[in-house]
Amino acid sequence: MASDLVRFSVAIPSTLLGEFDAFAARRGIAVNRSEAIRDLMREKLAEDELDEPDTEVVGSITMVYDHHMPDLTHKLDEVQHDHIPLIVSTMHVHLDHHNCLEILAVRGRSSEVHELADCLLGIKGVRHGKLACTVLQG
């Protein structure tokens, strides 16, 4: 709401401002500087909130692995069956003769989601593993 907006001035080097404008234009994150800065502030605050163990987060865990690796698929299954409440959905794609892509949609306390990701991505043979999560805005 417009009535909630506060104006303040910030002094920054012109080169930094130029680089920021170019960054915002590349990313297409905003139509003006104020919106670009608001977006970045919200992003940083959400990132900070992610570090709080009790924060409710949603996101995905992406993994690529060779399903021929002995015992690997069994270990991945075991870990997932031990964390059923955190896993909303899974998708498995057989990429080629060797490689599988698995994507898990996850939801839960930040500390538990991170623990699950560490557990899965730490299994020998999992490549290109990544957790991406965000905080649900009320």
Which residue in the block uniquely carries the two structure tokens 């699950």?
116
Beta bridge partners of residue 93, listed in sequence order: 101
CB 55 within 8 A of CB 135: yes
100 binds Ni ion (CB under 5 A): yes
Binding of Ni ion by 63 (CB under 5 A): no
**Helix/strand/coil (H, E, C) string of 44-108?**
HHHHHHHCCCCCEEEEEEEEEEECCCCCHHHHHHHHHHCCHHHEEEEEEEECCCCEEEEEEEEEE
Give the DSSP letter of residue 30. -
Nearer to Ni ion by Cβ, of 42 and 124: the residue is 124
Based on CB atoms, which residue is closest to Ni ion, 67 or 107?
A: 67
CB of 94 to Ni ion, least distance (A): 4
Q: How far is the CB of 82 from Ni ion (least distance, A)?
A: 21
- Decide: is 94 part of the binding site for Ni ion (CB under 5 A): yes
Query: Which range, of 31-39, 51-59, 89-97, 113-121, touches Ni ion by CB under 5 A?
Result: 89-97
To Ni ion, the closest distance from the beta carbon of 129 in angstroms equals 15
For position 120 contacting Ni ion by CB under 5 A, the verdict is no
Least CB distance to Ni ion at residue 107 (A)? 24
Burial of residue 66 (CB within 10 Å: 0-12, 13-18, 19+) is: middle
Chain residues binding Ni ion by CB under 5 A are 94, 100
